[in-house]
Chain A
Amino acid sequence: MIRNIKHRPGIIRVAKATISCVLAVTFIFSFGVRDTFGQRRFSRTYPAGKNVRLVLMNRSGMVTVTGWDRNEISISAYLELPAAQIAPQSLTDKIYINLVKDNQGRDVGSVNFEVRVPYEASVDIETTIGNLNVISVRGGLVRARINSDGDITLTNIGSATVAAENVTGNILFDGLIVDDGNYRFSSMQGRITLRIPFTASFRLVATAPSTRSIDLGTLGGGRMRLLSDGRRIVGQNGDGSAIISVTNQRGSIAFLKR
């Protein structure tokens, strides 16, 4: 058989060419996969006081901020290619990351952040596209804003000032209503769900002008009243020390008991 092949040089040339092609295609494809699906990882830890403030402005991608019982901030980022530039700034009582400014005019991939902050930290995060999650934080401020598509999920929050805004997407708030606190939730289209203690003390303005879909559950009893043909509900729960303002232009609003 071997002798036969040796005596047939055309077959050998074909085999060599085939192997070369396969290797070449594999080589090229492997680089293509890396460019398309590959990720780079960024990781950094900063010492921080309990009342530190995290300010993070992302371009595209998911951001998850979770509270922990350590006096440090841990930032992990997974960068899709072409990789964005990340340059965190550690200022006095503040960690500042601005991917929009650092990558202005560049074509960069999404960046997914996983950040751990002290429980008492304040969190101010924003992105152009992507989901934002904040978990177990009870600092003075929690603010999450998505400039276009994306869901905002705020769970186990104990902050006195909370703001969540997006254009298209859902918003979920599951947390406490602190006395004298200020809570604002705003969306153009999607569903806003607030899971709060119904024993909390607050004044409420909930507005869903297009759908008129405002589900209070058992909240408020008879102290809530409809305004403007049912497009808005205004009322007071308890002493009314905190303020809750919910606006969903083309979506629904629902309250769940916590």
Chain B
Amino acid sequence: MNCEECHQNLSVFLDNELDSGLSAAVQTHLALCPECAKLCADFAMILETCGESPTDDILPPNSQALWCRINNLIETEIKTTPEPVKKGWFSRGWNFTFSQVGAAAVGIVLISVLLTIVGLRNYFEPTADDFTSRSTASQTTFEKVLSKVGLVETPQQARERRFREQQVAIDYWTKRVALRRAQWDGRMRDAFDRNLYVIDESVNEYNRLLQSNPEDELSGEMLDAVMTEKMNLLRAFSDL
């Protein structure tokens, strides 16, 4: 008899329900095989214990609670079981070369220095012209960078956009004035024409200056003010 056959018949053997032939064979094998003998001894002890103690004695006082604890332990172990590592970019990418790490460090330093400079500049920047209109000179470095890449409009673009908006409003009020003008007396007409001429002279002057030097922010600011003044003049006279 080999060990496997012995294991198959061991339980029946211990219950004394095996026929005499097989029983003798098992006994012979147990005498020759210490491992099967030990297994048989363990089984025998379990059976003996079960036979001697009633079931109530070996159950815990609160078996339901015990099962809950066991379930909790099992669930905890399942959760803490490490998931298999995904083979992604990072798992492969951590193997940087020395030059790559160096370049990354230099990049981080450069960005930090740039942000510090921008921050300091913005912090110490308030000058007397901070309550006048924005210009390229007063633009922060960050804004300039954004302007360069087209994320925000430059002061020139903003000025041109505003100029177009003002021109639309001026066209509207000019039409209103044309409708009202016939009702004015001569003094009103003279005053309107005279002042409109003065304003238009300034508009032409600033347009000339900006054509020759688009970076002339003061002329841009003054043009904006003059256009607003023109709009106010037209609106005031259209109400008469």
Spell out A's residues near B (CB within 8 Å).
Answer: 59-60, 100-101, 104-105, 107, 128-129, 147-149, 167-168, 186, 188-189, 203-205, 207, 209-210, 227-228, 231-232, 234-236, 240, 243, 245, 247, 249-250
Contacts and interface: CB of A to CB of B under 8 A. Distances in A.
Contacts of B127: 234
Interface in B106-155: 127-129, 131-132
A104 B198 contact: no
Contacts of A204: 128
Nearest to B192: A148
Nearest to A189: B198
B198 A129 contact: no
Contacts of B129: 205, 227, 234
Nearest to A110: B187
Contacts of B205: 210
A210 B226 CA distance: 13
Nearest to A150: B191
A228 B183 contact: no
Contact of B198 (A105, A147, A188, A228): A188
A253 B236 CA distance: 26
Contact of A188 (B128, B188, B199): B199
A236 B128 contact: yes
Interface in B158-181: 180
A233 to B, nearest CB: 9
A43 to B, nearest CB: 26
B218 A167 contact: no
Nearest to B206: A209
Ordered nearest first, which 9 A-B pairs have the shortest CB separation?
A147-B236, A228-B218, A234-B128, A148-B195, A167-B195, A148-B191, A129-B191, A203-B128, A249-B202
A60 B187 contact: yes
Q: How large is the interface on B (under 10, 10 to 19, 20 to 34, 35 or more residues)?
A: 20 to 34
B190 to A, nearest CB: 9
A125 to B, nearest CB: 14
A192 to B, nearest CB: 14
Nearest to B201: A250
Contacts of A205: 128-129, 131-132
Contacts of A203: 128, 131
Given A168-B198, A209-B219, A236-B128, A147 B183 contact: no
Nearest to A228: B218
B181 to A, nearest CB: 12
A105 B239 CA distance: 8
B73 interface: no
A59 B240 contact: yes
Contacts of B15: none
A188 B229 contact: yes
B240 A128 contact: yes
Contacts of A209: 206, 218-219, 222
Given A167-B195, A210-B205, A227-B129, 6 more contacts: A100-B240, A147-B233, A147-B236, A186-B229, A189-B198, A250-B202
A225 to B, nearest CB: 8
Nearest to B236: A147
Contacts of B185: 107
B194 interface: yes
A104 B226 contact: no
A71 B131 CA distance: 37
B232 interface: yes
Given A210-B205, A249-B222, A129 B188 contact: yes
Nearest to B226: A249
A210 B202 CA distance: 9
